Amino acid sequence: MLTVADLPRRELAARLAGPGLVLRTGPFANRIRSDVPQLIDGIALLYADYPVDAPGGFADFHLSLHRAGGVRRWFRPQVRFAQEGMTPFKPLPLAQAYPMFEWVMNWCVSHRAHSYLIVHAAVLERHGRAVVLPAPPGSGKSTLCAALVTRGWRLLSDEMTLVRLEDGAVLPLPRPVSLKNGSIDVIRAFAPDAVLSTPVENTSKGTIAHLKAPAASIVRAFDPARPAFIVFPRYEAQAPTSLSPLPKARAFMGVAENAFNYQVLGARGFGALGALVEATQAFEFRYSKLDEAVVLFERLAKDGA
């Protein structure tokens, strides 16, 4: 199967500038068009191992990220996003093209993929057990996710857990892990060999960098997982590492609060969320030391609760 890494830089740029690069991310095909060098470089680095379909093939999402015209092409240059003729976002500074691309990819899934229950949660697998990590921004979810990925966990997703409505299986959507501000240096120190993009400063979320997803996780992008645990993480400075059982009613409400399309799905969403909670054990997790967190999660995945 052809991957991004198989395309010479000139061919990659030509596809993006012309018919579009049809990039496979889990169950979705994304046709991407762009003339922005920063975005081309980011895709070449972070999506090197991802499969690429023929230029004229089917695509679930059509994304266009191009330099703004007029005076903005030269004065404080900007990048604009369009999706099937719509422009749902305001233009951003050109230097923020790659973070915008990742945000746009998330937006497409969360707003269109309603054949799944979509939860704002990381999800990883180890020893055949998948752990769902629902959490709002600032909880330390992505930092924990990145740490586990660098210690051999299979990455299904950093941002969105896709729960199949008919059987409760979690479908992989492995993409780069988003790291913010101080988390970037934390992961650099924790995993010096990890591949990270160049940090982009002054975004709406602060400084952003992305951790490349493991090739082994991308290869298994069509291999669903069975959720065994729901863990609500929270980073707290100086906090001792602790894992506390959570009643199913509170777990249900916690997942519902982090679901993108729970209300859109109606009764199907209620049923899928209820089945997810019933099939798993739920916990609250507090941590301040990544080494201790990794040890605890390894024990959880290997031996169960």
Among the candidates 65, 91, 112, a domain finishes at 112
Residue with tokens 């120190």: 189
Residue 72: its pLDDT value, please? 60
> Are 266 and 280 in a shared domain?
yes
Mean pLDDT of the residues in the chain: 94
- Segment 76-88, tens digit of pLDDT: 888 888 876 667 7
Same domain, 101 and 236: no
Interstrand relation of 200-203 and 92-93 (parallel, antiparallel or unpaired): unpaired
Same domain, 96 and 146: no
Query: Range of 45's domain?
Result: 4-112
CATH number for the domain that contains residue 121: 3.40.50
* pLDDT value, residue 107: 93
Contacts 24+ apart (CB under 8 A), 278-281: 278/248, 279/168, 279/226, 279/227, 280/132, 280/227, 280/228, 280/229, 280/230, 280/251, 281/228, 281/229, 281/230, 281/245, 281/305
Domain count, the chain: 2
Q: pLDDT tens for residues 172-200?
A: 999 999 999 999 999 999 999 999 999 99
Predicted confidence (pLDDT) at residue 73 exceeds the cutoff of 80: no
Residue at a domain's end among 112, 145, 171: 112
Q: Do 149 and 190 have their domain in common?
A: yes
Residues 77 and 139 in one domain: no
Q: Which residue among 61, 78, 112 closes a domain? A: 112
| Same structural domain, 43 and 13 | yes
Q: Are residues 251 and 164 in the same domain?
A: yes
pLDDT > 70 in the chain, percent: 96
